[in-house]
Amino acid sequence: MWGTLSPGSGGPLVDPDGRPWTMTRRRLDLRIVRRAMRSADRLVLLGEDGGSDLTWVGQDQRPALWARMRDRYFGPGGTEYGDYSGYEFVNDDGDTLVYIEVWCSPSS
């Protein structure tokens, strides 16, 4: 992992299904991330361990993820020292996703 950049740092993002995505916005405002987490129409991808472990976040998993990250979000609307950051990506078909990168997994 140390030889490549994480998707949030400008490295490539290839989802678990093998599709490549291009970053369009970084350090999303926490309110944008919250709306994406609540929307059934938005794809949400979680990149744990600095983006080395990618998993889709289903609708049923999003409330628990939101509870874990809302007070630990690094970026506009969040805290200065958080573990979670949000980014927007688009693929060649015009689909968008919100990518949540977490650097430190919670201990609980």
**In the predicted model, what is the mean pLDDT of the chain?**
89
- pLDDT at res. 84: 95
Contacts 24+ apart (CB under 8 A), 3-10: 6/47, 6/50, 6/51, 6/52, 6/101, 7/47, 7/51, 7/87, 7/89, 7/99, 7/101, 8/47, 8/50, 8/51, 8/85, 8/87, 8/99, 8/101, 9/51
Pairwise CA distance, residues 81 & 74, whole Å:
6
- Work out the average pLDDT over 12-25: 92
- What domain count does the chain have? 1
| pLDDT tens column, 32-74 | 999 999 999 899 999 988 788 899 999 999 999 999 999 999 9
Tell me the residue range of the domain where 70 lies. Answer: 11-102
Q: Is residue 97 part of a domain?
A: yes
Q: Is residue 107 part of a domain?
A: no
- Work out the average pLDDT over 18-35: 94
Q: Is residue 94 part of a domain?
A: yes
- pLDDT at res. 57: 96
